[in-house]
């Protein structure tokens, strides 16, 4: 594959990029920090990527999405896969007290993620299709007390990605919505760990398998599909009382 990835410098995105490199795929790494991007690129080269190129792209700066993807297209000789794992997290307590942080989470995780996907969608459809894999979250499955604001961004994103799948799969755009549960990364450091927590490398394997087979949705770790099915069925009166 010829992959453009935004979010590969850390966490699940880094583990996933390493798996792609081991397959011998060509990878264009986008990110906002030049030093982090350079380190990531060197790591992927060592791990076997057929080609590695880089470019600057900040999820908070939508004006550069198009140019960044154009540059990636030129470097890869035409990309066929786009993976977006970047985003911003905040606990409900934090976001309820910090309006600026809440605005950043809302903007990055929904508005600008959708705008980036639209830029990718147009380019992929213009060449007959391709793969678009985007990280949402199980936090968007059901409104819950600890993730009111963050979860709402992921709920909106999941709805958008499902809509893309309905609208464009017949035209060749294979959209995969990735819904991680709790994964041990820097984003979750310091948070209370729930049951069924996953490690980035294991989660990345599940995600890559889903991308390759064109699954529209993937829960990772897979146990979260069952967990969220149960949570979706709980009455509202119960959800008002629980704290998870």
The dihedral over CA atoms of 126, 129, 133, 138, expressed in degrees to the nearest 10, equals 100
Question: Which of 99-113, 132-146, 188-202 has the weakest average pLDDT?
Answer: 188-202
* Structural domain for 102, as ranges: 2-241
Amino acid 187: pLDDT = 64
Closest listed residue to residue 141, CA positions, set 154, 127, 123, 122: 154
User: In Å, how far are 51, 89, 142, 159, 214 from 177, measured between CA atoms?
Assistant: 26, 18, 16, 10, 10
Check whether 38 has a pLDDT greater than 70: yes
> What's the domain count of the chain?
1
Q: Please confirm, yes or no, whether 150 is among the known catalytic residues.
A: yes
Amino acid 183: pLDDT = 74
Of all residues in the chain, the percent with pLDDT exceeding 90 is 88
94-119 mean pLDDT: 97
Amino acid 92: pLDDT = 95
Which helix (H) or strand (E) segment is 163 a member of? Answer: helix 148-168
Mean pLDDT of all residues belonging to the chain:
94
127-135 mean pLDDT: 97
CATH of the domain at 63: 3.40.50.720
Rounded to whole angstroms, the Cα distance separating 178 from 216 reads: 9
DSSP SS3 for 88: coil
Check whether 229 has a pLDDT greater than 70: yes
| Catalytic site residue from 150, 160, 168, 219 | 150
pTM of this prediction exceeds 0.85: yes
């Amino acid at each position: 594959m010829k992959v453009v990835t935004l979010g590969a410098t850390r966490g699940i995105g880094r583990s996933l990029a390493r798996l792609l490199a081991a397959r011998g795929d060509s990878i264009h790494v986008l990110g906002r920090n030049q030093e982090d991007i350079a380190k990531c690129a060197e790591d992927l080269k060592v791990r076997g990527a057929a080609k590695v190129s880089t470019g600057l792209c900040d999820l908070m700066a939508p004006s550069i999405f198009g140019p960044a993807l154009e540059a990636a297209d030129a470097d890869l000789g035409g990309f066929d896969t786009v993976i977006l794992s970047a985003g911003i997290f905040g606990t409900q307590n934090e976001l309820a007290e910090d309006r600026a942080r809440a605005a950043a989470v809302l903007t990055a995780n929904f508005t600008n993620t959708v705008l980036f996907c639209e830029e990718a969608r147009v380019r992929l459809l213009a060449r007959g299709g391709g793969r678009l894999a985007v990280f949402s979250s199980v936090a968007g499955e059901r409104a819950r007390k600890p993730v009111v604001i963050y979860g709402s961004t992921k709920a909106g994103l999941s709805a958008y990605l499902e809509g893309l799948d309905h609208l464009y799969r017949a035209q060749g755009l294979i959209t995969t919505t990735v819904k991680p549960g709790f994964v041990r990364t820097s984003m979750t450091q310091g948070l209370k760990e729930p049951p069924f927590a996953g490690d980035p490398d294991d989660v990345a394997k599940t995600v890559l398998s889903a991308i390759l087979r064109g699954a529209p949705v993937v829960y990772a770790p897979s146990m979260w599909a069952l967990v969220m099915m149960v949570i979706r069925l709980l009455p509202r009166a119960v959800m008002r009382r629980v704290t998870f």
